[in-house]
Structure 1
Amino acid sequence: MYVKKSILFSSLVLAAFLVGCNDSAAPAQNGTDSTGNEGDTSSETSTDSLESNIVTIGTGGASGPYNILGTTLADIYTSDFGVNSRTQTTGASVENINLMEQGKIEMSFVMSDALSQALAGEVSFKEPIQNVSQVATLYPNVVQIIAKKDSGINTIEDLVGKRVAVGDQNSGVEVNARTLLAGHGISYDDIQVDYLGYAEAADGLNAGTIDAAFLTSGLPNASVLELSETLGITLVSIDPANIDDIAKEHPYFVSYEVPAGTYGNEEPIQTAAVPNALVVRSDMSENDVYLLTKKFFESLDKLVNSHQAANEIPALDAQEGFIAPVHPGAQRYFDEQQ
């Protein structure tokens, strides 16, 4: 939060000047004072160091792109800013947003559908979330519905009556799984639901304790890739026309084609995708978020080296598709790119 200089303070400075006090020649210092209170953090007082000593990044499952990219980003922040930056493995989007609202983490990867619902106070959120601002639109999170090869499960409609892992409860994966199923007239009463993350879902498919799993992430997902090489899998398709209908109410959904060969699939597979978002706490200082945003975009090549999903992170048009309000620090960075 940014606070204006108080009228009282201004008056005291003026009075001191009028009586010829030598100290009045020194300009008032902005930023964070010794008590930790934030002052005016405008671009005139920009520094190359962070006010915060800790930058915790909320991610998701251990094998997912959120965690892989978040770990790389945390290492970069630690190395370049000399701060304690680390990732926190979570149930992903919904938990990350709640942790930010509680002031427990500074930055997180979230899915746009969960972010939209958080701002509106819907579904998994009892009231609108306030303390979240966006700094970038990221790569699309691809809905990858996986079943064993020759299981007879080829389309989302085939999931009726099956044992299905829908992601960790209240994760972004689970939120969009529930929405997509509902868009096809399928409720949780029509399937046997298991709340499993990436690695647990992969283990369940391998052990035969579940029939199919939603593993929504960037491409490729490490767990799905391993299954495709060891078990043999089918990518379950979703009709693009159905996605278009669902998008009328949930505009963050788009049709997406998983390229042939991604997981040994001979043909492209039609499915849905939801863009990811990189968000920060709204109460972080403008200068800190400016520096974090700038470093993020300057480090895209390192992020791509850690996970190829980062190839699809837009650079110049990173503000397109924003769901949450842009943080002033990120806005300053975008303005510099004009």
Structure 2
Amino acid sequence: MSNPHRRGGRFGGRAAAAILAAGALTMAGCAADGTGDLTLATGSTGGTYYPLGGEIASVWSSELDDVSVTATVGGASVENLRALDQGEVELIMSVNATAAEALDGVGDFADQPLSSPENIRALGNIYPEILQIVTTEASGITSIEDLRDRRVEMGPAGSATYTMAESVLRAYGIDPATDLAATLDSSFGDAATNVGDGVVDAAFGILAAPTGSIEQLATTHDVVMLDISGPELEAVLAENELLSAHEIPAGTYSGVDEPNATITSWATLYTTADLDEETAYELVRVMYEHGDRVQHSAARDMVLETAVDGLGPVELHPGALRYYEEQGVEIP
């Protein structure tokens, strides 16, 4: 069954001014002269994109003259790419593997391809996106196989979480449409709450690790993180070369004393070729040179050493490329 949840909420602190629920702005702002307003589409309030994007937008707005960046709640990877393609926003956060699918017109974009996928440009990686599958000891679930006939949060429709959850379940021989008792599509904050309340048995989320929603769940419940391993892991990785195996260290979450085997990709910043070169250059420069001002744990991974890893078929924006070349970053 479907149980969509309304997105909303407020994010406190100095990033609050950068996060508005306003509609998207036009592309006119920074298309030509490098001045004006830009909108950054992020994700749901319970995930990593929204608070992290608000922090990055706040730093950009304070460091760059004549440029103001507003971070908004977004539908995450798939919906963000569609919004970028339609000119509704100028900047987005998206999983790199999903952006590669958009460019190639496969996966979620096979039936509804973008109108101008060749216009998408990468600015740089932000942090590793880690698939986390959480349940509780009380559920009796100890493996992905145990999800059969259970109630599972798969992430919002159009998100990379939903796509990856479907891929993982199918690798284990589970058809979400017929083999689960129910599928829900809440944002991850609501999904984690639903796990704790017993509304669902488990939830998928693509997030930084640790993430606050799971940390909070672990304060009131014995949390269990489900592994992806063996031939099923190899099957998932074979589907998408931009995914890789990952291990969440033991102790990342309270009570989870064993490492968690899973998969990861990159959360990447994207724009289009319409953004002028100097603005793109400055956005990338500030993001990496002033990353220490971003008050979010995921910002520790926002470093030049991994800025251009796993970009796949998406071209770098010329402004970003110029900055990386000046910094001696090796471009794949």
TM-score under structure 1 length normalisation: 0.81
In the aligned structure 2, how far is the partner of 1:37 from the partner of 1:76?
A: 17
In the aligned structure 2, how far is the partner of 1:195 from the partner of 1:257?
A: 26
Q: CA deviation at 1:231?
A: 2.4
In the aligned structure 2, how far is the partner of 1:226 from the partner of 1:37?
A: 40
Matched, 1:249 2:230: no
In the aligned structure 1, how far is the partner of 2:29 from the partner of 2:73?
A: 28
Q: CA deviation at 1:150?
A: 3.2
What is the aligned counterpart of 1:333 among 318, 323, 327? Answer: 323
What is the aligned counterpart of 1:291 among 282, 295, 301? Answer: 282
Secondary structure of the residue aligned to 2:119 is: coil
Matched, 1:127 2:113: yes
Contact 1:55 1:86 in 2 (8 A): yes
Contact 1:136 1:279 in 2 (8 A): yes
Please name the residue that 2:271 is paired with.
280
In the aligned structure 2, how far is the partner of 1:174 from the partner of 1:36?
A: 33
What is the aligned counterpart of 1:322 among 297, 311, 319? Answer: 311
What is the aligned counterpart of 2:62 among 75, 79, 91? Answer: 79
Matched, 1:175 2:163: yes
CA separation of 1:244 and 1:138: change in aligned 2, threshold 3 A:
farther
Matched, 1:149 2:137: yes
Please name the residue that 1:200 is paired with.
190
CA separation of 1:37 and 1:181: change in aligned 2, threshold 3 A:
closer
Please name the residue that 1:104 is paired with.
88
In the aligned structure 1, how far is the partner of 2:63 from the partner of 2:107?
A: 39
Structure 1 range deviating more: 121-130 or 171-180: 121-130
Matched, 1:70 2:70: no
The code of the aligned residue for 1:71 comes to G
Secondary structure of the residue aligned to 2:323 is: helix
CA separation of 1:287 and 1:37: change in aligned 2, threshold 3 A:
closer
Please name the residue that 2:147 is paired with.
159
Q: CA deviation at 1:36?
A: 8.7
Q: CA deviation at 1:263?
A: 1.0
What is the aligned counterpart of 1:55 among 38, 41, 46? Answer: 38
Deviations 1:221-241 (A, max 9, x none): 111110011222211111154
Deviations 1:236-279 (A, max 9, x none): 11115432232122112211111111111111111111222111
In the aligned structure 1, how far is the partner of 2:35 from the partner of 2:87?
A: 13
The code of the aligned residue for 2:89 comes to I
CA separation of 1:37 and 1:318: change in aligned 2, threshold 3 A:
closer
Deviations 1:121-145 (A, max 9, x none): 1232212423321111232111110
Deviations 1:20-60 (A, max 9, x none): xxxxxxxxxxxxxxx99977xxxxxxxxxx62311211111
Contact 1:100 1:131 in 2 (8 A): no
CA RMSD between the two structures:
2.0
Structure 1 range deviating more: 310-319 or 221-230: 310-319
In the aligned structure 2, how far is the partner of 1:37 from the partner of 1:263?
A: 42
Q: CA deviation at 1:149?
A: 1.6
Contact 1:97 1:115 in 2 (8 A): yes
The code of the aligned residue for 2:113 comes to E
| Aligned sequence identity (%) | 30
Q: Which runs of 5+ in 2 are unaligned?
A: 1-27
CA separation of 1:289 and 1:155: change in aligned 2, threshold 3 A:
same
What is the aligned counterpart of 1:190 among 155, 168, 179? Answer: 179
Structure 1 stretches of 4+ with a deviation exceeding 6 A read: 35-39
Secondary structure of the residue aligned to 1:109 is: strand
CA separation of 1:261 and 1:36: change in aligned 2, threshold 3 A:
closer
Please name the residue that 2:76 is paired with.
92
In the aligned structure 1, how far is the partner of 2:251 from the partner of 2:76?
A: 28
Secondary structure of the residue aligned to 1:139 is: strand
Question: Rg bigger for which structure?
Answer: 1
Contact 1:109 1:276 in 2 (8 A): yes
Secondary structure of the residue aligned to 1:209 is: coil
Q: Which runs of 5+ in 1 are unaligned?
A: 1-34, 40-49
The code of the aligned residue for 1:78 comes to S
CA separation of 1:269 and 1:84: change in aligned 2, threshold 3 A:
same
The code of the aligned residue for 1:162 comes to R
Q: CA deviation at 1:335?
A: 1.0
Contact 2:46 2:190 in 1 (8 A): no
Secondary structure of the residue aligned to 1:214 is: strand
